Chains A and B, each alone.
Chain A
Amino acid sequence: MTVRRAVRVSGLLTLALLAGVSRSFAAPAAAGTAPAHTFPIVYLREAYPAPAVMPSLLETYPDDLGLAGAQDAIGEINTTGKFLGWRFKLYVVTLPAGADMAAQARKVFARGPSVIVADLRADDLLKLADAPATKHALILDIRTSEDSLRQRDCRSNVFHILPSQAMRADALAQFLVEKRWTRWFLLQGPTQQDAVYAADVRRSAARYGASVVAARSYDYNPGSRRSDTGYQQIQTQMPLATQVGSDYDVLFVADETDLFGDYLPYNTFDARPVVGTQGLVATAWTPAFQSYSALQMQNRFQLFAHRDMTERDYSGWLAVNIVGDAVMRGRQLSPAGMRAYLRSDNFLVAGFKGEGLTFRTWDQQLRQPVLIAQPLMVVSMSPQNGFLHPDNTTDTLGFDRPETQCRLAQ
């Protein structure tokens, strides 16, 4: 993985982040093209160390994960912009790993409030959101799924694109209840995020009438990865880890860091399907999805990036499209104006889910149907038929207004 380690600010500082964005919306473009006004978007990421060895050789970790989606989207909104007199430019800023976020933000966003596509982990995202320099910025979080950022740690300058952990658990739970596979064995990994997801699974069970009939923590050391005898070790370990007395329908795995979950399918003690963070997963996007014009998107992305479109690419693509929509349809140029627009009834973005995607005003989470997918196929899309909601069926996924712990400063 070759991520640029130096802070690339030189080009950025010459940028008049907002000064250049002052034009009226008086006349619509009448001809093929109109003179362009440039709108800058900052793509902010950190040079995190690449993850340790992936469990499967088939898994890759491209160094433009997320970024390629954003760059593809820039080309697309510039096609619209060509007809309307707008030009969008993506400034990619890669901070060194472990950077002092507040100090870096002060440098990068010295010129005033900006629109930021944040490809950052949860802790760094929070530091960015709390930095004085970004107090009035618009931050589109394209990477995290942590519930905490949508609950107690929500911030008024942050909008979340990817589904939260709770939305993912609910999406799977609805599917399982629809299948009447309602007795779950919950196998939980060692991390704190595994505990959060496991709590979400229990919450989903309570919401939808399923039950966790067995629960266990996984505390084996998955040291057998990629050794010559790896599969033999796995074949011994996994049945042991999954031998429980209770009869259950599905194993629900909570392994947010991909430590062991991918070893479970076909290695469980009982012949049971595996769902959760591995096996059958809930995701915003998979390269296998082709409904609702998604096929066209997959084709375009392949042509552009020469690889499959991942969930984070989709997230980056959506974030940039949201900015394009706020500028060209919403006619908003300031982060404050954009924020109000994104929270309003006038905003919706298309994301190949057969319905317009909007933001929940109580936690600024993008409201979206969630795909239920196995590695090569989309199995379903939640919400499932029959799960009802007084306002919006999609709000059956995740923390609804009455449940939110988020108190946004206006």
Chain B
Amino acid sequence: MPSRAMTGRGAALLFTVVLCSFAAGARASELFVSNEVDDTVTVLDGDSYKVIATIPTDQRPRGIVETPDHKSVLVCDGDSSNIDVIDTKTLKVVRKIDTGPDPETLATSLSGDELYVSNENNALVTIINYATGKWITQVPVGIEPEGLAVSRDGRIVVVVSEETSMAHFIDTKTWQVVANVLVDTRPRVAVYTPDQRYLWVSSEVGGTVSVIDPRSHQIVHVINFQIPGVDKQYIGPIGIQFTADGRTAFVALGRANRVAVVDPKSYEVEKYILVGQRPWQLTFSPDRSKLYVANGLTNDVTIIDVSSEKATKSVPVGRLPWGIAVVP
């Protein structure tokens, strides 16, 4: 940002420099969108939102994350029982990692050395050494495990099980489940608040977000959503994201076709932003000025401007977009 003192020519010069650095080949950020039905990952340019590449994957790509070093994007191929490793430079699948049956989604450890994969059909979390692809262990959890969250100290991995309706806390030293919290029906996503004091769990069919104290494993608050003119049963919270300062939360509401803006202090819903149909997962741009929403039924990604809390654009991707990874 130009400082306030910088005026006239100085600002113009800086602007030119910035332009040049782009022209010199430093690519803008890229969005990697997994298309569950197409068996592809769509790569969008983070400035123009034009499709840069459509990468074929194995069958039923869903959970998608970038590695901490941004060199790779990992996508779970549910019906092929593996992870496709996409090189973010060449935009090609360069490696496959065996995950065991039906991987739905995944998370990486803080260092990126380990992968945590939820095996939806087997009620397991598979822990994999990323470098070797070898399984470290498998942890039995509830039925249809899905969303994963890793605490910032790396000591706890949380997985939610859709059919069992629980958040399971797994100790990463012992790989034992140390606590189970019953939440509302069909939990999908778990996310720690930026200050790590709470864990938010969305329940798609229950229509709520449970706020859990991760130390006491008690639910301290349940967030409800009410939208005038929308039947209660269509409100299906899935993706959750917090701004870096933790002062605003965004919750995708599935068939209600909206993203809720929530104040994490008061738990009041401040606003509902209309997006595409059945928004599932949300991801921020690297500078967190934009929020990207994958809309499962309309096959597009809605871009929300974070400061104005407005949907600015929707761009088409493949069929049934599931999740989005962003690489700076």
Interface positions of A (Cβ within 8 A of B): 28-32, 76, 79-80, 83-84, 293, 296, 299-300, 303, 325, 328-329, 348-350, 354-356, 392-394
Contacts and interface: CB of A to CB of B under 8 A. Distances in A.
B140 to A, nearest CB: 9
Given A299-B121, A350-B185, 10 more contacts: A31-B179, A79-B143, A80-B142, A80-B164, A83-B177, A293-B162, A296-B162, A303-B121, A356-B205, A356-B206
A118 B176 CA distance: 40
A393 B123 CA distance: 34
Interface in B203-240: 205-207, 217-218, 231-234, 236
Interface of B: 102, 120-121, 123, 142-144, 162-166, 168, 176-182, 185-186, 205-207, 217-218, 231-234, 236, 254-255
A348 B236 CA distance: 13
B182 A348 contact: no
Contacts of B143: 76, 79-80, 300
Contact of B120 (A28, A83, A296): A296
A79 B123 contact: yes
A300 B162 CA distance: 14
A395 to B, nearest CB: 10
Nearest to B230: A393
A354 B206 contact: no
Contacts of A296: 102, 120-121, 144, 162-163
B255 A83 contact: no
Nearest to A300: B121
A84 B179 CA distance: 10
The 6 nearest A-B residue pairs measured at CB: A355-B233, A83-B180, A350-B205, A32-B177, A80-B164, A356-B205
Contacts of B121: 296, 299-300, 303
Contacts of B180: 28-29, 32, 83-84
A76 B233 contact: no
A309 to B, nearest CB: 15
A350 B203 CA distance: 11
A328 B163 CA distance: 13
30 contacts: A28-B180, A28-B181, A28-B182, A28-B218, A29-B180, A30-B179, A31-B179, A32-B176, A76-B163, A79-B123, A79-B143, A79-B163, A80-B143, A80-B166, A83-B164, A83-B166, A83-B182, A84-B182, A293-B144, A293-B186, A299-B102, A300-B121, A348-B205, A349-B185, A355-B234, A356-B185, A356-B205, A356-B233, A392-B231, A393-B233
A356 B207 contact: yes
B205 A355 contact: yes
Contacts of A393: 231, 233
